[in-house]
Amino acid sequence: MPVTECIAVYIRLSSEDNDVDGSIKAESNSVSAQRMLINEFIKKQDEFINCSVVEYVDDGYSGTNFNRPGFQRMMEDAKAGRIKSIVIKDFSRFGRDYLEVGNYLEKILPVLGIRIISINDGFDSINSSGFTGGMSVALKNMLNAMYSRDLSRKVRSAMKTHAKNGEYMPAFPKYGYIKDPEDKHHLVIDPEAAETVKLIFTMAADGKTKGQIAKYLNETHVLTCREYMCRKGIKMHRENEKEKKLWSVTTISDMLKNEVYLGKIIWNKKRVARTGSNKLVSNDKEEWIVVENAHEPIISDELFQKANEKAFTNQQSLQSILINEEIQDKEIASVSYKYFYCKDNAKQPCRQMKQLTAEKTNDKINALKL
């Protein structure tokens, strides 16, 4: 019999679904449990016998915003007419922003002709009379939103306690380390990657620029941090498939400034602006939690200091020389080897400023022994 309809199965699990002690919450929220519940439900529905099923999963994404790859892919397929129904475990899996969930139920999905079924909520849009059904769901999702904010506060409080105890909290270890097989909150040195970390700091301490270091690593075919971790079986769920697999100045800069290589754990440097937001804001240094000797260091204090002095002082010196000698009474955003760029238009060379010749620029660079 031909397939008459395609059903979307949507599954979501996030860090909000962990208990404050870091263990997985009730098994009912796990990806496998959601998948089992939904598939069993579909099998029991005679109307779905000849339907194909497509699964969309967001593992590790908050329900307080809808910018999730699995969800976005599902909605693109819905708009393209590739799916006709969505089945979820409950509305907290769909989202915890009750206003946005209501918007999808009352406006977006009906316009697209998409039926939505929430198993545990006993909700089927085909039996819902528009506004009344939506209000019931909106109320439930308002409670979900309140629960999410309260849970976020509890999780953050628990993480703060763990950090003060010197426990490593991020989901992924920093390049150069792996998580201790016997204690996921403790880092141990990864000998292979640690050699690359030492090389980067040594080259910086010897006066190599961040660009020169990145170029050397690329030319010698050293795997990038992300590539290396993937090879080690560490899945980075937010990986950008289009990302160039090359070492960059930004990566080198971030590594040189990271005190995790001194054996420190620094937590609470930034915070989410508000529950459900992707925007991060910096905390005052007084709010940071710094734990010394949390794990074995890869870099000595002396090498760390020397590498940072060379890497970042030389950069400032070059910009200072170029700006002070060539430009007066002008506000500079950044400097390239040939041109100056204004803060007002960082994409185009400033037409009002004197441009340096390549020869003159190289002379100044060589003078700094870069």
Domain annotation for the chain: domains and CATH numbers: 6-162 (3.40.50.1390), 170-304 (3.90.1750.20), 327-367 (no CATH)
**C-alpha–C-alpha distance, residues 370 and 357, integer Å:** 18
Q: Residue 135: which of 114, 111, 106, 107 has the closest Cα?
A: 106
Helix or strand run (H / E) with residue 5: none
pLDDT digit string, tens, across residues 79-100 = 999 999 999 998 889 987 777 8
Mean pLDDT score, 59-72: 89
Return left, alpha or beta for 104; rule: phi > 0 is left, psi -120 to 50 is alpha, else beta. Answer: alpha
Q: Please count the residues of the chain.
A: 370
Q: Which residues contact 275 (CB under 8 A, 6 or more apart)?
A: 64, 148, 149, 152
Please state the rounded mean pLDDT for residues 282-308. 89
Structure tokens at 85: 């129904």
Beta-ladder partners of 10? 56
Mean pLDDT of 151-169: 72
351 against 196, higher pLDDT: 196
Mind listing the pLDDT tens digit for each residue in 25-63? Answer: 444 468 888 999 999 999 999 889 888 999 999 988 888
Distances in Å between the alpha carbon of 277 and those of 63, 114, 149, 158, 299?
A: 11, 27, 12, 20, 35
The C-alpha atoms of residue 338 and residue 333 are separated, in whole angstroms, by 14
Total-model pTM: 0.49
The pLDDT of residue 142 is 58
Local structure of 339: helix, strand or coil = coil
Rounded to whole angstroms, the Cα distance separating 132 from 128 reads: 8
Please report the pLDDT score of residue 329 as a whole number.
Answer: 37
**C-alpha Rg value of the chain to the nearest Å:** 26
Cα-based distances in Å from 174 to 208, 248, 289? 23, 17, 18
Per-residue pLDDT band at 138 (split at 50, 70, 90): low
Of residues 236 and 10, the one with the higher pLDDT is: 10
224 by DSSP, 3-state: which? coil
Q: Assess whether pLDDT exceeds 60 at residue 269.
A: yes
Q: What is the mean pLDDT of residues 224-230?
A: 90
- For residue 259, pLDDT over 70 is answered with yes
Is 277's pLDDT higher than 70? no
pLDDT digits over 324-334, tens only? Answer: 444 433 333 33
